A = this chain, B = another copy of it.
């Protein structure tokens, strides 16, 4: 039976695969109705891809399979509370339900930067540890004027 506990257990098993395969200890799956649409383990190290977190990979796979960027009828199960990158990906995908096991504090204790990034994101850009340089604002706004005037745009 695909209840929340069973599906979350699968995500935890995928996280263990992440460790075995030389990547980070994270796993996730995307479910729609009774169907598991996509599964993924973290692949950051072996694929040389800093965005290859389990949630991002599962979302990308599910969107490819369903041929839409809109996963609003799906649930994501993840072995650990999503980091800000993955949380952003969840919002952009329209997913409305997140079931998770470990918390971001557990990830921090294991040496991951999740909490640091959460703290940084809530700061004004000028106050962050990374240098944020805001120039040519007017040229940037011009792009949005072009967008607003573009009649064939598909919003997302």
Contacts and interface: CB of A to CB of B under 8 A. Distances in A.
Contacts of A40: none
Given A9-B139, A51-B51, 8 more contacts: A16-B143, A19-B143, A25-B143, A48-B69, A83-B88, A84-B121, A98-B131, A110-B144
Interface in A95-123: 95-103, 106-107, 109-111, 113, 116-118, 120-122
Interface residues of A, number: 91
A152 B22 CA distance: 8
* Among all A-B residue pairs, the 10 with the closest Cβ atoms: A85-B88, A101-B140, A102-B140, A84-B88, A25-B147, A110-B144, A50-B93, A50-B69, A50-B92, A15-B143
B86 A131 contact: no
A143 B12 contact: yes
A137 interface: yes
A34 interface: no
Interface of A: 4-5, 8-9, 12, 15-16, 19, 22, 24-26, 44-45, 48-53, 56, 59-60, 63-64, 66-71, 79-81, 83-103, 106-107, 109-111, 113, 116-118, 120-122, 125, 130-137, 139-144, 146-148, 150, 152-156
A62 to B, nearest CB: 10
Given A9-B139, A102-B144, A130-B96, A68 B88 contact: no
Contact of A135 (B5, B92, B97): B5
